[in-house]
Structure 1
Amino acid sequence: MFKFLHISLLLLGMAFGTSARAESVLFLNPGATDEAFWVSYSQFMQAAARDLGVDLRILYSQRQPEMTLAQARVALQGPDRPDYLMFANEQYIAPQILRMANQSGVKLFIVNAALTPNQQALVGDRADRIGSLVPNDEEGGYLLMKELIRLHPPVAPGASIELLAFSGLKITPSSQLREQGMQRALAEHPEVRLRQLVYGGWTQQRAYEQARQLLVRYPKVSLVWAANDEMAFGAMRAVSEIGKMPGKDVLFSAVNTSPAALQAMIDGRLSALLGGHFTLGGWALVEVHDHAQGVDLNRYGGRDRQIPLLQLIDKDHARRMLAMGTSPDYGVHFRKLSAKGRPASYRYPFNLQTLMH
C-alpha cells in the first residue's frame, strides 16, 4: 500500500513537473482583430510560444482601454489566473492593472509602452513586475523623417519643402514618441515646413478625411509623414484623388510591415518605411520563458529595456519580409535565444537581423 502511495505521489509530482514547465501567459492585445499590425504581432508571439512550449492566450480589446482593464480584472482576480500577464501601457492604463495585480500571484511584463517616469515614481518597485520591453519609437520617428527629407529633390535656396504629418492618438506613448522624433529631425532641416500635424487615430478612413481638407488648404505639400501604414494609405488615397502620384509628386512615409505596406514600398508608392516592432511580443516571450526557468533578467541587459527594433526597410528587405510572411514559424529558433546558462556578457539578439538571417 505504502509503495503504491509512493508511486502515486511520484506520478503526481511528474504531472505537476510537466505543467510547471509549460508556463501560462495571457497577452492583452490593445489592438483590433482586423488591424494588420496587431494581428501580425500576435502571430509572431504564437510562433514563439510554439517553439518555447509556452501556453499562450491572447485577448484583443479592439482599441478600448476599458475593455483591457475588464480583461485584466478577470485574469488577475478570477479563479483561472495565468502565471504571467503581458500588456501594453496603452493610453497609460498600467498603474490600474498594477493595482489590480496586488496579491494576485500573477507576474507582470509590460510591452510596447513602459511605465512613464511619473507612473514609475507612483507605483515604486514591485517584485511581481518582472520586466518591460519597448521599441525605439522616438528614434523611429526621427529616422523616418530624415529618410523622407533625404529622398526629396533639392530645392532652391530660400525655398521650402511643405510637409503634412499624421500622428496616432494624443494619449498613446508610441504616438507621442514618434512625433518627438519627427520634430527632432525637423529642427535639423529648417527648409522643411510642417504645415500641419493631425491625429488620425491610427485609422485609414480618418486620415483620408483629414487629408482631403488639408490638401485643399496646403496644395504645395510634397511630403507626408505618417506614424503608421493605415494613415499613410488614407492620405495616399486623398492625394491620388486630386490627380497627384504618390511616390512621385508627393513622397510618403509609414511605420509597420503589413503586406500592403511592404508591397507599396516595392511599388514605390511608399518612399520610406519603418518596421520590425511587430516582433516585440515574441521576443518578450523569450524573456518570460527564461524567467520561468529561473533566469535573472537583470543579469542580461536589465529588466526594463528599449531595443532598436524600428529600422528602415528598403525594397530588398520588403521583398524578403513579404516572402517570409507565409512561413508560420518565421524561421526563428526562439529557444536558441535563451539566456539560460549563458555568461553575464550575453545580450538577447532581438533585432531584425535575427529575423532576416
Structure 2
Amino acid sequence: MLKFLCGALLALGMVVGPFARAESVLFLNPGTPVELFWTSYSQFMQAAADDLHIDLRILYSNRTSEVVIAQAREALLGPHRPDYLVFVNEESVAPEILRLAKGSGVKLFMVNSALSPDQTRLLGARPDKYPDWVGSLVPNDEEGGYLMLKELIRLHPPVAPGQTIDLLAFSGLKITPSAQLREKGMRRALAEHPEVRLRQLVYGGWTRARAYEQAKLLFKRYPQTSLVWSANDEMSFGAMQAFEETGAKPGKDALFSAINNSPAALHALLDNRLSVLLGGHFTLGGWALVQLHDYNQGVDFSRYGGRDRQISLLQVIDRAQAKRLLALGSEKKFGVDFHKFSAKGQPVSYRYPFSLQALMH
C-alpha cells in the first residue's frame, strides 16, 4: 500500500521525503570546457546543485550558436526532457529557444544575457505569451563596464591641462547583450573624462588569440596607449602578451583591466600585471538554481525581487578579496550553504541576497 501511495504521489509530482524526485536541470554553457570563466561558472553551479539535490547536466557549445540551438532542440523536443532548461542569450539564440520550447513542458530560465530591448520588442516577450519562461537573472554589465574604466582612470597619473590619455578597448561579440552593455558603460565613463581619448575599440570575440592579433597592430598604431579596457580576462591576457612583446610592462607602462575572477586573472591582479579586475558573476548559475529550487517547491520567486532580475554582482575586486576567491576554489561547495538563500517561508519583504560578499565570510 505504501509503495502504491508513494508511486501515486510521485506521478503527481509531489515531494514526499526520501521518495522525492530531484528536479532535473540542463544548463547550456555557451563556452568551452577549457575556458576558465565558464568552467568556474559550472563548478559553482554544480556545488549549488549538489547542496540542493538537483539533478544537473551541463553541455558546452564551444561558442557556436548552431550547437546551442541543436542542444536546445534535443532537450525540448527529444524523449528525455529536463524539468528546466537554463541558457544564455549568447549570439542572440533566445528567440529560437523560446520558439522551440512552446508546448514542450520544459521551463526556461535565462542567465547572464537576457533578451535585448530589440528582441523584447520583436517578440512581444510577455509572461503570458511564453508561460514556460519563468525568469532571468543577469549581472550589472553596464555598471561593470563603467566602474572598470572609472577605476583605470583613477589609477592613472594625472595629466597636465590640454594633455590626453590614450585608451584602447577590447569588447566581446558585437551581438551579445553583455558585451553591448559593458561597452555602453565604458562609453558613459568616457563621457565624464574628456582627457581620455578612445583611440580604437575592437571586438575580440572574448578570445585571447584574437585579441592578441588585434593588439599587435593596435600598439604599433597607437604607441602612446596607457590604458587598456577589456570586457573579459582572456582578451586582456591576449592584449598583455602583445604589449610585452613590444618590450613594455603591463601595470607599469600601461594599465590593464579585465572582467572575470578566473584564477589566472586573480593571480595577475596580485602580481600587479592587471591593475583593475571586476568579477562575481561566475556565481549566477548557482544563484539561478536556488531560485529554480524554490520555484519547484511552489515559491513564487517573482514576489522576492522580480521575475527578471539584474543583480550587482560585478564589482571591483581588491587584493584581499582576490586571495579569498583563490582559496575558495579548494573549499567544498565554495564554502556556501545554498539552502540559507531560499525565499521559502520568508516574508514578502525578503530579497534574495545574492552577491560576491556571500562568499567573503
Shorter-chain TM-score: which interval?
over 0.9
**AA paired with 1:140?**
G
> Structure 2: which amino acid aligns with 1:308?
S
Return the letter of the residue paired with 2:5.
L
Render the CA deviation track for 1:86-142: whole Å, top value 9, x for unaligned.
001111111111111111111110101111233234143222111100000000000
Q: Deviations over 1:123-177 (max 9, x none)?
A: 4322211110000000000000000000000111100000110111111111111
Say if 1:10 and 1:150 are closer, same or farther in 2 by CA, change over 3 A: same
1:150 partner SS: helix
Give the aligned residue type for 2:117.
P
- The structure 1 segments of at least 4 consecutive aligned residues displaced by more than 6 Å after TM superposition are none
Partners in 1 of 2:320 and 2:239 — Cα distance? 25
Cα distance in 1 for partners of 2:334, 2:298 equals: 27
Structure 1 residues 52-89: Cα deviation after superposition (integer angstroms, max 9, x where no partner): 11110000000001101000001001111100110011
The amino acid across from 1:51 in the alignment is: D
Aligned partner of residue 330 in structure 1, secondary structure: helix
Matched, 1:199 2:194: no
Mapped partners of 1:304, 1:15: distance in 2: 30
Residue by residue over 1:277-297, the C-alpha shift from the partner in whole angstroms, topping out at 9 and shown as x without a partner, is 000000000000000000001
Instruction: Provide the residue aligned with 1:159 in structure 2.
Output: 163
Match for residue 192 of structure 2 among 181, 188, 192: 188
Match of 2:5 in 1: 10
Letter in 1 for 2:90: E
Match of 1:124 among 116, 123, 126: 126
Tell whether 2:38 aligns with 1:75: no
- Residue identity matched to 2:176: T
Structure 1 runs not aligned, ≥5 long: 1-5
> Which one-letter code corresponds to 1:171 in the other structure?
I
**1:13, distance to aligned residue in structure 2 (A):** 3.9
Q: Which residue number in structure 2 is paired with residue 134 of structure 1?
A: 138
Percent identical among aligned pairs is 69
Q: Indicate which of 311, 314, 329 corresponds to 1:310.
A: 314
Distance 1:117 1:19, change over 3 A: farther
Residue in structure 1 matched with residue 356 of structure 2 by the alignment? 352
Aligned partner of 1:229 among 228, 233, 245? 233
Answering whether residue 276 of structure 2 is matched by residue 266 of structure 1, we say no
In structure 2, what is the equivalent of residue 87 of structure 1?
87
Residues 114, 232 of structure 1: alpha-carbon distance in 2 compared, 3 angstrom cutoff: same
User: Number of residue pairs matched?
Assistant: 352
Task: Please tell me whether residue 175 in structure 1 is matched to residue 170 in structure 2.
Answer: no
SS at match of 1:26: strand
Partners of 2:139 and 2:56 lie apart in 1 by 22
The answer to whether residue 292 in structure 2 is matched with residue 297 in structure 1 is no
Alignment of 1:316-355 (within 5 A): 316-355=320-359
| Counterpart position of 1:37 | 37
Is the partner of 2:251 in helix, strand or coil? coil
Q: Distance in 2 between matches of 1:205 and 1:132?
A: 31
- TM, length-normalised to structure 2: 0.95
Find the counterpart in structure 2 of residue 279 from structure 1: 283
Kindly indicate whether the alpha-carbon contact (under 8 Å) linking 2:10 and 2:21 is maintained by their aligned counterparts in 1: no
- SS of the aligned residue for 2:86 comes to strand
Secondary structure of the residue aligned to 1:302 is coil
Q: Which sits farther off after the overlay, 280-289 or 107-116? A: 107-116
